[in-house]
Amino acid sequence: MKKTIKKTVIIYAVCMAFAFAAGAHAAPAATENAYIGYEDSAIGSEKVCLGGVPFGIKLYSGDLTVVGFTAVDTAEGRKNPAYDAGIRENDIIVSVNGTKVSSAEELMKICNSSEGNEIAVVCRRGKTERTFTLKPALSDDDGKYKTGMWVKDSTSGIGTLTYVVPETMTFAGLGHCVCNARTGEAENVVAGVVSAVEITGVEKGYEGDPGELVGKFTGGKIGTLTANTDEGVFGVFSELPPHVDGEELVPVVPCGKEGEAYIRCTLRDNEPDLYSINITSVEEGEETHKNYTIEVTDERLLAETGGIVQGMSGSPIIQEGNLIGAVTHVFVNDPTKGFGISIENMFDGMPRKAA
Class of domain 65-152: mainly beta
- Tell me what the mean pLDDT of segment 180-188 comes to: 70
How many other CB atoms are found less than 10 A from the CB of residue 156? 20
- Tell me what the mean pLDDT of segment 98-124 comes to: 91
Q: CA dist 346 to 13, 134, 284, 350, 353, Å?
A: 17, 47, 13, 6, 16
- 33 pLDDT band, cuts 50/70/90, is very low
Q: Which of 176, 289, 334, 342 is catalytic?
A: 176
Q: Which of 84, 273, 298, 348 is catalytic?
A: 298
Cα–Cα dist 200/214, whole Å: 6
Q: Where are the domains of the chain?
A: 2-62+154-349, 65-152
Angle at 16 between CA 299 and CA 208, to 5 degrees: 55
Which of the two residues, 353 and 264, has the higher pLDDT score?
Answer: 264
Identify the pLDDT of residue 27. Answer: 40
Q: Which of 61, 313, 315, 342 is catalytic?
A: 313
Q: CA dist 351 to 40, 133, 164, 247, Å?
A: 12, 43, 14, 24
* Fold of the domain built from segment(s) 2-62+154-349: Thrombin, subunit H (2.40.10)
- Tell me what the mean pLDDT of segment 248-270 comes to: 91
**Least confident residue range of 18-32, 97-111, 162-176, 307-321:** 18-32
Cα–Cα dist 341/316, whole Å: 10
How many other CB atoms are found less than 10 A from the CB of residue 333? 13
Task: Dump pLDDT digits (tens) for 40-66.
Answer: 444 434 789 999 999 988 888 778 889
Cα–Cα dist 71/258, whole Å: 58
Cα–Cα dist 220/214, whole Å: 19
Q: CA dist 89 to 111, 132, 289, Å?
A: 19, 14, 33
Identify the pLDDT of residue 304. Answer: 94
Q: Is 298 a catalytic residue?
A: yes
Which of the two residues, 304 and 191, has the higher pLDDT score?
Answer: 304
Cα–Cα dist 271/242, whole Å: 9
Q: Is 176 a catalytic residue?
A: yes
Identify the pLDDT of residue 32. Answer: 40
Identify the pLDDT of residue 74. Answer: 92
Residue 314 and residue 175 in contact, taking contact as beta carbons nearer than 8 Å: yes
Cα–Cα dist 37/348, whole Å: 14
For the entire predicted model, the pTM comes to: 0.78
- 36 pLDDT band, cuts 50/70/90, is very low
Percentage of the residues of the chain whose pLDDT score is greater than 70: 84
Cα–Cα dist 49/173, whole Å: 12
Q: Is 25 a catalytic residue?
A: no
Task: Dump pLDDT digits (tens) for 86-97.
Answer: 999 989 999 999
